[in-house]
Copies of this chain bind each other. A is one copy, B any other.
């Protein structure tokens, strides 16, 4: 079937704060064909990604993503592969391309699932999906006291695993970091899994990270996430081989398969965390999931935004029974919560699953989103090449 329309919607909270909360704005993609609609979400700067979709061609390897969808068909997995391949072959000098492709690819999988009346994980080759253990993903409090309170609240809510990250962690003294870690552990009690996300704070400096390993061991951290810049293979490798041993997790910053592959082969990771909204979509994420199974590394989704993004990020490993840990954002802004009527929530055993419905199984709530829609116009040589479409 011919793809009839591809629309980008930039949504934003009225005020965007200078904090590590990626749910303050969103870029949704809607693709229509044959009476069906697929939805995707880019975990990306909305305006920049829109520009990469509509920009004029610079040369044969720097084409707008629009060119990949011109006269394109959708009806089979090979159609999605063809669009991805076009972008990787003909837009590879357009740096933003993979972030934009991510939302397009997700929307195409959703669309194809609806056309075929199958959940995406089945189109990916998994006979069934397995429940995941959600870890409550949130920011450190500004003080240890605040972190303790957050930890208590999440424990009371029934979570079996909790992650704290960003905020002041790693930015002041070792003593302050230890106080934050202890507050988190005390708030959780001894049995819950505690993940720590350093948010790339030590850049490429493995010594700074190494100084925190004892403290992480003391609170029995399940993993240390993103101590360094994405792709800093030497620093990751060095820390992975330091004592005491703390398993490393990273990968959310990977914006294509080969970056994730390099992190897995040379970074000493035990967990690879992939955001389908950044890595080029569900297609690229599934390639990473396949590689994890060869390498004995655990796959984990990265998600800090909507239920739509959550479903898209779980599908690539929904059928892998042994990889149970799943990031589950618990501090979403209203915009991200309102993106869909469908909610992915823990069941009575505290586990979550992707919806067993066609596509991603998420009903986007267009009515609720109108109030967040950001009006954008881009003109080149006097021609209006983008204006916010109707939601």
Residue in A62, A374, A377, A382 whose Cβ sees the most chain B Cβ within 10 Å: A62
A377–B375 CB distance below 8 A: no
In chain B, what residue has the closest Cβ to A235? B258
Within 341-374 of A, Cβ neighbours of B (below 8 Å) are at: 374
- Once A262-B266, A381-B375 are accepted as A-B contacts, the answer to whether A48 and B52 lie under 8 Å apart by CB is yes
In-complex Cβ contact of A56 among B12, B22, B44 (8 A): B12
Residues of the B chain whose Cβ atoms lie less than 8 Å from the Cβ of A256 = 231
Chain B residues in 8 Å Cβ range of A20: 59-61
Q: Which of B21, B55, B99 contacts A95 (CB 8 A)?
A: B99
**Which stretch in A86-94, A103-111, A125-133 binds the other chain?**
A86-94
Knowing A45-B55, A200-B92, A377-B377 are in contact, say whether A233-B265 is a contact too (CB < 8 A). yes
| A253 CA / B137 CA spacing, docked (Å) | 34
Q: Is A273 on the interface with B (CB-CB < 8 A)? A: no
Q: Is A6 an interface residue (CB 8 A)?
A: no
Closest to A204 in B: B258
| Consensus secondary structure, chain A interface | loop
A92 touching B258, Cβ below 8 Å: no
> A203 to B258, alpha carbons, bound, how many Å?
11
B232 x A58 contact (CB < 8 A)? no
Measured between beta carbons, the chain B residues less than 8 angstroms from A50 are 51
A231 CA / B203 CA spacing, docked (Å): 20
- Give chain B nearest CB distance to A194 CB in angstroms: 23
Partner of A94, one of B45, B54, B258: B45
In the complex, are the beta carbons of B59 and A55 less than 8 A apart?
no
Residue A19 is within 8 A (CB to CB) of chain B in the complex: yes
* B-side contacts of A229, CB under 8 Å: 88, 92, 258
Instruction: Give Cα distance in the complex from A51 to B377, angstroms.
Output: 12
Q: Does A261 contact B (CB under 8 A)?
A: yes
A residues apposed to B, CB below 8 Å: 12, 16-22, 24-25, 43-48, 50-52, 54-62, 64, 88-89, 92-96, 98-99, 166, 199-200, 203-204, 229-234, 253, 255-256, 258-259, 261-262, 265-266, 374-382
Most B-side CB within 10 Å, residue of A58, A98, A99: A58
**Which residues of B are found within 8 Å of A25, using beta-carbon distances?**
56, 58-59
In the complex, the chain B residue whose C-beta lies closest to that of A257 is: B204
Once bound together, how far apart are the Cα atoms of A376 and B88, in whole Å? 27
Known: A48-B95, A375-B382. 14 other contacts (CB 8 A): A17-B59, A19-B59, A20-B61, A21-B60, A44-B58, A44-B93, A45-B96, A92-B229, A96-B96, A231-B256, A262-B262, A375-B379, A377-B379, A378-B378
CA distance A222 to B258 in the complex (A): 27
Query: What 4 pairs across the A-B complex have the smallest Cβ distances?
Result: A51-B51, A47-B55, A96-B96, A377-B379
- Please pick, from B22, B94, B378, the residue contacting A58 in the complex, using a CB distance under 8 A: B22
Return chain B residues, CB-CB under 8 Å to A54.
47
Min CB distance A385 to B, Å, is 9
Closest to A376 in B: B380
Instruction: Return the contact of A55 from the options B46, B98, B203 (Cβ within 8 A).
Output: B46
Given contacts A92-B200, A380-B374, contact A58 B233 (CB under 8 A): no
Which of the residues B12, B16, B47, B62 comes within 8 Å of A51, measured between beta carbons?
B47
Q: Which of B234, B258, B375 is within 8 Å of A232, CB to CB? A: B258
Q: How far is the CA of A376 from the CA of B380 in the complex (A)?
A: 5
Least Cβ distance of A276 to chain B in Å? 15
| Contact between B262 and A18, CB atoms less than 8 A apart | no
A229 to B91, CA, bound (A): 12
- B233 touching A266 by the CB < 8 A rule? yes
Assess the B47–A56 pair: CB atoms within 8 A: yes
